[in-house]
Structure 1
Amino acid sequence: MDGPQRPQPMGIQLPTGTDVQSIRQRVEAMEMLLERSFRIPGINYPIGLDAIVGLVPVVGDIVTTAMGAYLVWEARNLGMPKWKLWRMAGNVGVDTLLGVVPLVGDAADFVFRSNTRNLRIIKKHLDKHHPETRIIDG
């Protein structure tokens, strides 16, 4: 060995660029983290940080709203039309309003996946306007 080994980073490496491909990778990773990063044992149902952090009253709702708003911010960076941004903000708003209601909001996090809906809007836009960023899922 020539010298001490450097520690290797764990997890996934997200690009930090402002190009369309980098933004696509970041929003896909954020949606995965918020909506499908864990599976409930026994029933094999995917959940993410949105449902878990949302269990914490008030603070959880603020944190998950901010994380959902990040997707809208990235969509704005892509130059998406304002009506799509408003639609995405509406999805985050509905998720937030449902989350404010105790128990009902926690149950709604399992059904109403605003981040998945927003990712779908972003992907549809990217597939139409930037088809070179498409990734074929295996």
Structure 2
Amino acid sequence: MNVAVKILEKKALKKLGKDKTNTNSENPYNEKVPIYKGNKIVKWKTQERPIPAGLSQNDAKILRKVRKRAYRWDMGFRCCCLNVRFGWSAIIGLLPVIGDAIDLLMALSLIKKAAKVDGGLPKRLYGMMFTNIMLDFAIGFIPLLGDFADVFFRANTRNAWLLDAYLTEKAKALQAGVVQDPETGSIVQIPEELLVTEGNRDVETGVAPATASTMQGPAPVTPAAVTASRPVRNVPTTPQNPPGAPVRKLTPPRAPIGGGLPGRQITPQKQDPRDNRARR
């Protein structure tokens, strides 16, 4: 566990230096995407930064919240005169003593939220986040100049980028199935604390690694396994005459006499001779 987390921590810090990310000025929540018309850029569109594919639902949810809070607290507003962005952290910090204390509690709550990722945060990254908060708290005690410097230091934005870099490298390791040290080339298996189950994977952006079962496709369903939704009635079938037996002909029913119901025969009644004697 410690070896894998240290390798991910090292790769995260290397990623921040390689990408030259301005952790105190670049927006951690939104990004600008160019819109092309032909081969030319027509305009730029602002949209939410995508979540690294392969993270669990818990890690993806925490990363979204940390990004959004850091953006609101450090870069939620823009000054029309100086073209400088600031947030609620700078506004609250203007209050004497109480404002700095509230700002400190807000920053600590952000670290507490980030530490709830699967497996926790590496000790070095956790220490760097805490150091950023202490520096921001110390700068805020300087009258006037400290409040102005607090606008540009942006401890919450720095901590959001540290968490982003760590979870990005963690997502790559989860997709690969192993953690590889870039310096020594040693390969370490991902510990169970960092593994993502299928039910806990982020469905919206997560991509499950290919396995033998998923590559072969779903198992075929046999007809015996399929159960009928409704019971099948026994329909009587007409018996067939065996070969060589005489064919029986059915005679049609006689027509009714006197106009009765179809299929019913009415026989005429015999006349009583005594009726004739009475008439005479």
- Give the TM-score normalised by structure 1: 0.78
| Counterpart secondary structure, 1:46 | strand
Equivalent residue, structure 1, for 2:150: 109
Question: In the TM superposition, what whole-angstrom CA distance separates every residue of 1:32-80 from its partner, at most 9, and x where no partner exists?
Answer: 1111111011232111011111000111101111111122112211211
One-letter amino acid of the counterpart of residue 151, structure 2: F
Equivalent residue, structure 1, for 2:112: 73
How far does residue 104 in structure 1 lie from its aligned partner after superposition? 2.3
How far does residue 82 in structure 1 lie from its aligned partner after superposition? 1.3
Structure with bigger gyration radius? 2
Pair 1:53-2:92 in alignment? yes
Superposed CA RMSD: 1.8
Q: Would you tell me which structure has more helix in proportion to its own residues?
A: 1
Equivalent residue, structure 1, for 2:127: 86
Pair 1:100-2:100 in alignment? no
| Counterpart secondary structure, 2:94 | coil
Q: Distance in 2 between matches of 1:73 and 1:59?
A: 21
1:118-137 maps to which residues of 2 (within 5 A)?
118-130=159-171
Equivalent residue, structure 1, for 2:36: none
Q: Distance in 1 between matches of 2:146 and 2:84?
A: 18
| Counterpart secondary structure, 2:147 | helix
Query: Following superposition, which runs of at least 4 residues in structure 1 exceed 2 angstroms of deviation?
Result: 130-133
Q: Distance in 2 between matches of 1:104 and 1:114?
A: 17
How far does residue 130 in structure 1 lie from its aligned partner after superposition? 2.6
Q: Which runs of 5+ in 1 are unaligned?
A: 1-17
Equivalent residue, structure 2, for 1:12: none
Q: Distance in 2 between matches of 1:101 and 1:43?
A: 22
What percent identity do the matched residue pairs reach? 32
Pair 1:32-2:38 in alignment? no
One-letter amino acid of the counterpart of residue 153, structure 2: F
Query: When the two structures are aligned, how many residues end up with a matched partner?
Result: 117
One-letter amino acid of the counterpart of residue 133, structure 2: V
Q: Distance in 2 between matches of 1:97 and 1:107?
A: 13
Q: Distance in 2 between matches of 1:127 and 1:86?
A: 19
Asked whether the equivalents of residues 63 and 114 of structure 2 are also in contact (C-alpha less than 8 Å), the reply is: no
Asked whether the equivalents of residues 36 and 48 of structure 1 are also in contact (C-alpha less than 8 Å), the reply is: yes
How far does residue 103 in structure 1 lie from its aligned partner after superposition? 1.3
